[in-house]
Structures are given as C-alpha cells and as structure tokens.
C-alpha cells in the first residue's frame, strides 16, 4: 500500500530526531535508517528545509478546520527596510486612503524612523500610509523573487543565503506572545494589531502582465503569501 506523503514526512522527521546533532549524514545513511528510497529522502529533506525557510507559521482551527497564519515568513526579514515596509502594506492591503495604515502602528525593532519613498508609498495628511500603483507592482516583484529563489533551491539544491536585516517591523513578524514583543510591550501597547483590510488587486494585474509579458497565474492574497 502506497504511503501517504504526511506519513512519509512524519516517519522521516521521527527518524532524523534520533540522529546526533552537528554530524554529517549521507542521504544513503538516512535511507537505510528509514527504509525510504534515497530520492524520497532527498526530496523530503528539501521539503523540510524549504518550509522552515519560506513558510509562515500556521495552525489549524479545530472547529472550522480553517488555516490561521500566526507569523509571516521569516524569510521576509532578509529584505531592506523599504522593501519590508512595502511588503507590510501589501499584506495589510493598504491600497488606498480608506485602507491606509496609521503611522503609529508601524514599529521598527530598533526604533528607526520611517522614511518611505513617495514613488511606492503615499503618506496622507492624516499621517497614514498606503501603496501607490508602483508600490503594489514592487510588492509583487518582491514576492516573485521569493518564488524564484524557492524554485532555484528546489531544482538546483543551491544554498540559500539569508542575510537578515537588523531592523524589521515588530507587528509584521512577531505575534502577541513573542518574547521580543513582551519586552517592548510598554512601548507598543496600543499598536499590537494591524487592521486587516480587503481590496481587489485587479488594478495592477494588467500592469504586471504588460511589464513581464507573463500574465499572473492567480491573485496574491494574504493567505497565499510565502
């Protein structure tokens, strides 16, 4: 009987948990321990690494069986401050003045001041931010670069160099129970949640297709990122 992927993954994780830390193991050694084919071992090890580097933290609601994202992908931290801000506004769906994010809700881990680019981000008279059309296109490009690097890793087994930025958006990457957020709770008491807004992305789909010559395969949403 053919094993289900989830059972293969569970078996591999269980076998690898019994291995010594900081010791180099060959694929054949793990193959012998698990009795899985060596190509299966290779593919599933890549899958584990890929998920840890690129996937957001998830949990499944027991009642509804819906998927809840508890933390965004740690891979986002590799981008510079402006790119992180663009991604943050994109995920928050801040696409117009009505859905704009208040300036005091955007907190950086080292207290850095905001210095948004007018080309990508509009600041309103009410001290709120939202993405321009170019900003949405830029966010789509950043996400496309993530997909590209994932593809390179899967196909070529290339090493992923994730040089993290020293500064990031606390309420973008940290949930309410994180130790880092607890340490700074007094500073950001009124800034723990970012309002989620909904808006269609149709207005820049054609711009992306025109620029790249490749139509988008589907809409990018907060639920499908990373």
Q: What is the pLDDT of residues 87-140, one digit of tens each?
A: 999 989 999 999 999 988 887 777 777 778 889 999 998 889 999 999 999 999
Residue 197 vs residue 23, higher pLDDT: 23
Structure tokens belonging to residue 133: 């059309």
Query: Per-residue pLDDT for 172 more than 80?
Result: no
Kind and range of the H or E element at 172? helix 170-173
Kindly report the number of other CB atoms within 10 A of residue 72's CB atom.
22
Q: What is the mean pLDDT of the chain?
A: 76
Alpha-carbon distance of 220 to 204, in angstroms, equals: 11
Three-class secondary structure assignment of 46-83 = HHHHHHHHHCCEEEECCCCCCEEEEECCHHHHHCCHHH
58 - beta bridge partners? 69
- The pLDDT value given to residue 219: 43
Residues in the chain: 226
Please report, for the chain, the start and end positions of each structural domain, with discontinuous segments joined by +. Answer: 5-54, 71-212
Alpha-carbon distance of 103 to 110, in angstroms, equals: 16
Q: What is the pLDDT of residues 179-191, one digit of tens each?
A: 444 444 444 444 5
């Amino acid at each position: 009987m053919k094993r289900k992927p989830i059972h293969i993954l569970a078996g591999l994780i269980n076998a690898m948990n019994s291995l010594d830390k900081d010791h180099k193991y060959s694929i054949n050694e793990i193959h012998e321990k698990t009795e899985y084919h060596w190509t299966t071992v290779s593919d599933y090890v890549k899958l584990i690494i890929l998920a840890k580097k690129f996937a957001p933290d998830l949990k499944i609601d027991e009642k509804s069986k819906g998927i809840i994202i508890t933390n965004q992908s740690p891979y986002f931290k590799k981008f510079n401050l402006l790119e992180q801000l663009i991604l943050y506004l994109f995920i928050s769906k801040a696409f117009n003045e009505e859905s704009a994010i208040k300036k005091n809700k955007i907190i950086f881990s080292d207290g850095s001041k905001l210095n948004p680019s007018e080309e990508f981000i509009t600041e309103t008279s009410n001290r709120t931010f939202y993405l321009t059309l170019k900003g949405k296109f830029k966010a789509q490009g950043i996400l496309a670069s993530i997909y590209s690097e994932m593809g390179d890793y899967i196909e070529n087994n290339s090493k992923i160099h994730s040089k993290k930025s020293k500064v990031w958006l606390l309420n973008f990457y940290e949930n309410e129970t994180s130790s880092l957020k607890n340490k700074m709770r007094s500073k950001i008491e009124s800034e723990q949640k970012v309002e989620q807004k909904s808006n269609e992305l149709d207005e820049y789909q054609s711009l992306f297709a025109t620029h790249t010559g490749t139509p988008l395969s589907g809409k990018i949403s907060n639920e499908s990122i990373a």
